[in-house]
Amino acid sequence: MSRIDELFAAAKVAREKAYAPYSQFQVGAALIAEDGSLHTGCNVENAAFPEGVCAEAGAISAMVLAGQQKISEVMVIADAALCTPCGGCRQKLNEFADKDVTIHIADLNGVRRSFRMDELLPAGFELEEKD
């Protein structure tokens, strides 16, 4: 199984576990950390909108909890033509990913498009310049 296939399969499983009773729009995310470990997340809605959690944020939290702080590759999946990360998640990904990290966007059948981090967020907020 290729790395992209592994990411796709993990994100698809995560999507199926999403808690989306209000929108019925399930999203899954999977990322590979710098050490090669795989971390997943799903969206979790809340009646007190917008207090829910995006799938990407959940995957990042799982990665940090596991002791990792550097993203190597990301997959986001939803039942949509092109479900790119929201602005907040783009900034969250930017915190842990170098500019050339690839973010794959998939529908339920496979990858639709891939972006580099700097394409999704060309001028992200930074306190200090990244190397």
Residues serving a catalytic function are 56
pTM > 0.85: yes
Provide the domain limits for residue 20: 3-120
Q: Is the predicted pLDDT of residue 130 greater than 80, yes or no?
A: no
Question: Is residue 46 one of the residues assigned to a domain?
Answer: yes
* Coil, helix or strand at residue 116: strand
Question: Is residue 129 one of the residues assigned to a domain?
Answer: no
Among 25, 28, 26, 24, smallest CA distance to 10 is for 28
Mean pLDDT value across residues 110-120: 98
Question: Is residue 127 one of the residues assigned to a domain?
Answer: no
Q: Total domain count for the chain?
A: 1
Question: Is residue 38 one of the residues assigned to a domain?
Answer: yes
**Is the distance from CB of 17 to CB of 43 less than 8 angstroms?**
no
**pLDDT, tens digit, for every residue of 71-85?**
999 999 999 999 999
Instruction: Give pLDDT, residue 87.
Output: 96
CATH code, domain with 99: 3.40.140.10
Output 129 or 118, whichever has higher pLDDT. Answer: 118
